[in-house]
Structure 1
Amino acid sequence: MRSPIDNYLADLHADLLGLDTGVPFQGIPAMKDADNSKFAIAIATVDGHVYQVGDAELEFSIQSISKPFSYALALDDMGLEIMDEKVDVEPSGDAFNEISLARDSGRPANAMINAGAIATISMIRDRDTGRFERLLEHFSAAAGRSLEVSESIYASEALTGHRNRALAYMLRSFDIIETDPTPVLEDYFRACSVMVNTRDLAMMAATLANGGTQPITGTQVMGQEAVQRTLSVMTTCGMYDDAGSWIAAVGLPAKSGVGGGLIAVLPGQLGLAIYSPALNPHGSSVRGVEASERISADMGLHFVRAARLGRSVIRENYSIAEVPTHIRHTDAAEKLLAEYGECARIIELAGDLLFAGTESLVREVSSLDNDVELVILDLRRVDEIDKIAVRLIHQLARELSDESRTLALVQELAFEELSSLRSFPSRNEAIEWAQSTLLARHGSPDMVPETVAVRDFSALAPLDASDIAKLESLMEESQIEDGRILRRPGQEFGGVYFILGGKVATSTLESGKAVRRATLSAGMTFGEIALSAEGEQITRVTALGKLHLKVLSAASITQLEAEDPAAALRFWKALARDAYTRVEANIKDSTHPLN
């Protein structure tokens, strides 16, 4: 099944294709004729899963999106204290190419503007390989593949980069750059000319989100301290003179580039990347900014909202075949449920369903085998559901329905936003529905008979016809109305009840609330378990709809024991065998206790 997140991105992409304002960057001849129709969005999670739509494999130059990664490499090389002596961490409030140097020290305002980025490049040290080779390896490690430089864009940058040359020589005059600025400029131009695609940028952003570890390769690309400082500066300075508006509307550390790319980072959760070459007056992609605002709002990604990571959302994923059933079925029905039990899955959730948790849930459901017909989401341990979770759960339900599959919820205290979906107050009741649905779809009518004669009860199978006839002659027949309580906890043993038609529910009282323990239907018995509790009833038994019974009362059993002790003994052995079989089934898997 296609993920609802893929569908959301596809709809957003189609909607924003009509946004045709802005023009490609005109300051670099090799880029001024970029195709405005190209548009891509990619989201990479910190475990390496990528959602993408549009021209996500189309390459373009990284431009200023190189700056956060150059800064992180310099921080790892030099440390915070030395870097702070050369490059400040304050928003400039100016455009990306303004001459923003402190009057007294010559320090650039931050590493995200051109002056600060050029100074940053000068701080990266040659080691076994040259400075630019280290930069390219660093970018490639974050992207998870080998990246290359566009020589044509580099040549165009070098030919027209007069303002950047002026910045470099001013930095040299203040000893911010301590050597010849020309090689520094060349490496800066080359760093901006590295070719990436939108998927690459999403993975690079996800590497920052993942504390510097590349999500797929597991390579530690940059240190935690460098990542923390880099994301901090991206938050306040990454969008230049539009940073305040960006952080208010989108609320994510970000960096744009005049090549049309844009990245945003939700620490601990994901990296977002967008490409569209038409720029706004601030030098950022028009579609990129609009898409980021929409995604942040729709998915609840603003850092103020998404800061609570909480526990892992998915606790367990198991089939109903792995859970001891609280419903007694015929042997044929039990056999069918053993065969088809994997067709119904229960996914237990816990914590907060914000974007990251919802994304993992959506991915889990979307990856289920096509044979899974019923999906039950157990929400009883979920504390909060964000609007993106509501939206995607509803979409999951629709898409499963389109494939003739069904989504159901277990929610003791129902979330109002999900009240229109099929819901059950307990897992037991959800399992009962799932079993009934599978039996109806794959079984025959005799597997769930509406009526059963006494002679056909499985509990009496070891007895011969004469014993069964003798027992039935001692039974009393009755018709019971819906809702009538037949047995209450603490009552003395009242006999064995044979259900000829209809259903009963057994329940216990916990914290003042009735909790259903079992549902019994035609062909099943109740009442005999009281003998194992010092002769007292331990559950409440209530009729579910109209009920047809025959009762072998305690007095009738005493009469049988007096008149035919051997027949009475055979009867008790048959009941004990049946009870043992049921108890064994209920404790076969203690990892999923009845609840």
Structure 2
Amino acid sequence: MESPIITYLRGVLDEFSELRDGEPYPVNIPGGAIDPDDFAIALATVDGQVYEVGDSDKEFLLQSLSKPLSYALALSDLGTEAVDAKVDVEPSGDPFHEMSLAEETGRPANAMINAGAIAIASLIKGSGGRSAIRRIVDTYSACAGRTLRTNGRAYQGERAISDRNHALAYLLSSVGVIDGRPSAALETYLRQCTVQVTTRDLAMIGATLANGGTNPVTGVEALDPQAVERTLSVMMTSGMYDDAGDWVARVGMPAKSGVGGGIMAVLPGQAGLAVFSPPLDQHGNSVRGTATSRRVSQDMELHFVRSARAGRSAIRSTHTIDRVPSRIRRTEEASAVLAEHSQRAVVVELSGDLFFAGTESVVRELSDLPDDVEMAVLDLRRVNEVGPLALSVLPRTAERFEAEGRQLILVDPDGLIDHAFDDEHTHTFDDHDLAIIHCERTLLERYGAESMPAEVPIEDAPALAMLDADDLRVITALMEPVSYDSGEVIRRVGQRFAGVFFILSGAVSTIASDAEGNRFRLSTLSAGMMIGDLALADTDRQETTVKAESDTRALLLSADAIATLEADDPELAVRLWRALAREAYVRVDAHARAVAARIRETAP
């Protein structure tokens, strides 16, 4: 199933494809002239999931997108103090090519403008048999998770129109910011700008920064975590040049643009967002890239003010319904059908918050369910807060489920998200057990077994199957018919043992209370089953409340009738108790398994 996040990104791509403002940067890349219609969006999470739409495999030049990566490399090599001595961390408020140097020290304002980036390039040295530019490209490759390369033709083209950058390099050298040949620093800078990436690469680089410098897919630490922290801080204040203030207010993520048409935004701890579209605005930023980033940040709540929590999955567990079955006792036939087909219904238990990271993990889990899963129960009992993204994409997931002949079922007792769903197509329950019952009944209807037979004659009662016809005739003669209306209480807590009820039709529930006095349904029993069998002496008292769930008919083998049987025919009484004990054991064993499963369910 296609992820609703992909569907959402494709909608954004289609919408902003209509933007025709701006002009591409006039430096050719391999293959001819730049195509202003190129457009791609990619979103990579800190656990390595990538969502991409558009021309996401088309390569373009990093250009100024290289600046934060080289800055982080210099910080990793030399430390903060040494780098700060050469390049400041103050927003310049100027375009990227301005000569923003401090009067007293000559330091560039920050590493995101050209003067600062040239100074940073001069600080990166070769080592281990690798030149400075080789180390830079290797670092970029580690961030992207694949081998990247520079473009020689683009480098020659940039060098031919870099008079201003030449001037900046010699000016920096004249005030002692650059040690050594200024032309060497400029060459390193221009070559790093011509490293080629795809939009997917750029998103993964963003995710690596979001992940503290470790690539989410390869696990390679490309950059020092402290260096990444400083880099993201400078990106937040200076990455978008003289448009930085508006960017922080409207997008709210550390970001960097490049005149090649790329924009990379980073949500620390959660994701990297990349957009590629060559036409640029007056600030040198991609027109479509800026519009897309604003929209995605707003819709997905990626602004740092709203998303100041570490990204983590909201999924507590995913399991088939047989792990925690309903409390309804089934016939052997029905139990066999459920055992065979339980993988067709899964429960996805959630916890925490459904903001970007949590919602993304849930949508991914649902989208990746095997094709044979027909029902998914989304259990929100432990969810605290829900953001707009969840209210948008989860209903789309339900629609896709329906289109594929599947069901998305909600357990939402607090009404966190059910109001966003179409009631006609989505089942919502306040109780987890009721949702499981719905799944079980659906599977039983589809795969050929009755969930709750309408009527079971006493001679077909499983509990009496060990008795022969003569024994059954004697015992049945001792029984008396009883009936109860739907909702009527049959037995209350504290009442003495009344006998054994054999249900002929209808259904009853046993209701217990926890230590805090909260009532909950312990089990639901249907035709062919019995209640009262666990009390084997008339001194025992009722431990649960028994209530009719529907109009119910039963036969009661009363405590007095049992006493009469024990006195008149003790051998038959023993055979009866043996049959009841066998059935009781099966029931207790099933209950113990269910309790164990629920303990696992509620364990931290």
How would you bin the TM-score normalised by the shorter chain? over 0.9
Secondary structure of the 2:280 match is: coil
Q: Which runs of no fewer than 5 residues in structure 2 stay unpaired? A: none
Q: Distance in 2 between matches of 1:533 and 1:158?
A: 100
Judge conservation of contact 2:498–2:559 (CA < 8 Å) in 1. yes
Q: Name the residue aligned to 1:427.
A: 432
Cross-structure match for 1:486: 490
Alignment-mate amino acid for residue 525 of structure 2: L
Q: 1:416-463 deviations in whole A, cap 9, x for unaligned?
A: 545744222232222111111100111144x63111100001111111
Whether the aligned pair in 1 keeps the contact of 2:479 and 2:557 (CA below 8 Å) is yes
| Deviation of 1:586 (Å) | 2.5
Structure 2 residue identity aligned to 1:427: H
2:71 alignment counterpart: 71
User: Relative to structure 2, which stretch is displaced further, 29-38 or 109-118?
Assistant: 29-38
Amino acid in structure 2 at the alignment position of 1:553: S
SS in 1 for 2:85: helix
Deviations 1:37-84 (A, max 9, x none): 110001111111111000000001000000000000000111100111
Deviations 1:514-542 (A, max 9, x none): 21111111111112223489611111111
Q: Would you say the 8 A contact 1:325–1:585 is kept in 2? A: no
Kindly indicate whether residue 450 of structure 2 is the aligned counterpart of residue 440 of structure 1.
Answer: no
Deviation at 1:410, TM superposition (A): 1.8
Q: Verify the 8 A CA contact 1:324 1:587 in the aligned structure 2.
A: no
Q: The residue matched to 2:245 in structure 1 has which SS?
A: helix
Amino acid corresponding to residue 173 of structure 1 in structure 2: S
Query: 1:187 offset after TM fit, Å?
Result: 1.0
| 2:378 counterpart residue number | 377
Q: In structure 2, what is the Cα distance between the partners aligned to 1:413 and 1:513?
A: 17
Measure how far apart 1:351 and its partner are: 0.9
What percentage of aligned pairs have identical amino acids? 49
- Conserved 8 A contact 1:76-1:226: yes
Q: Cα distance 1:264–1:496, how it changes in 2: closer, same or farther (>3 A)?
A: same
CA contact (8 A) 1:324 1:586 kept: no
**How big is the shift at 1:411?**
2.7
What is residue 37 of structure 1 aligned with on the other side? 37
- 1:451 equivalent to 2:433? Answer no
Partner deviation per Cα, 1:463-492 (whole Å, 9 max, x = no partner): 111222222222221332111111111111
Amino acid at match of 1:438: L
SS across alignment from 2:179: coil
Q: Could you tell me how far 1:584 is from its partner in structure 2?
A: 1.2
Counterpart in the other structure of 1:469 = 473
- Where 1:370 maps in the other structure, the secondary structure is coil
Shifted more, 234-243 versus 353-362: the winner is: 353-362
* Secondary structure of the structure 2 residue equivalent to 1:363: helix
Instruction: Give 1:88's aligned amino acid.
Output: D
Q: Give the partner amino acid of 2:498.
A: G
Structure 2 contact 496–538 (Cα < 8 Å) conserved: no
CA contact (8 A) 1:324 1:592 kept: no
Residue in structure 2 matching 1:545, options 535, 541, 550: 550
1:133-148 residue pairs with structure 2 within 5 A? Answer: 133-148=134-149
1:53-92 matches, within 5 Å, as 53-92=53-92
Whether 1:287 aligns to 2:288 is yes
Amino acid at match of 2:568: E
TM-score normalised by L of structure 1: 0.96
Verify the 8 A CA contact 2:96 2:113 in the aligned structure 1. Answer: yes
C-alpha contact 1:452 1:522 (8 A) present in aligned 2: yes
Matched, 1:218 2:219: yes
Q: Which moved more, 1:308-317 or 1:220-229?
A: 308-317
Q: How far, CA to CA, are the matches of 1:533 and 1:183 in structure 2?
A: 99
Paired residue for 1:14?
Answer: 14
- Distance between the aligned counterparts of 2:545 and 2:535, measured in 1? 11
Give the residue type in structure 2 aligned to 1:460: L
Supply the AA of the counterpart residue of 2:471: D
User: Is the 1:276–1:286 Cα contact (8 Å) retained in structure 2?
Assistant: yes
Answering whether residue 253 of structure 2 is matched by residue 249 of structure 1, we say no
Contact persistence 2:102–2:108 (CA under 8 A): yes
Report deviation, 1:324. Answer: 4.7
Show the counterpart of 1:569: 574
SS at match of 1:322: coil
Give unpaired runs (5+ residues) of structure 1.
Answer: none
Asked whether the 8 Å contact 2:28–2:34 carries over to 1, the reply is: no
What is the identity, as a one-letter code, of the residue corresponding to 2:509? Answer: A
State the AA in 2 paired with 1:488. R
Instruction: Determine if the alignment matches structure 1 residue 588 to structure 2 residue 603.
Output: no
Match of 2:51 in 1: 51
8 Å Cα contact 2:240/2:255 also seen in 1: yes
Q: Is the 8 A contact 2:261 2:278 kept in 1?
A: yes
Aligned residues: 593
- 1:529·1:537 contact (CA, 8 Å) conserved in 2? no
Distance 2:517 2:323 in 1: 30
Do the aligned partners of 1:30 and 1:156 also contact (CA within 8 Å) in 2? no
The answer to whether the Cα contact below 8 Å between 2:507 and 2:525 also exists between their aligned partners in 1 is yes
Letter in 2 for 1:502: G
**Range with bigger deviation, 36-45 or 316-325:** 316-325
RMSD of equivalent CA atoms: 1.8
Q: Return closer, same or farther for 1:407/1:532 CA change in 2, 3 Å cut-off.
A: farther
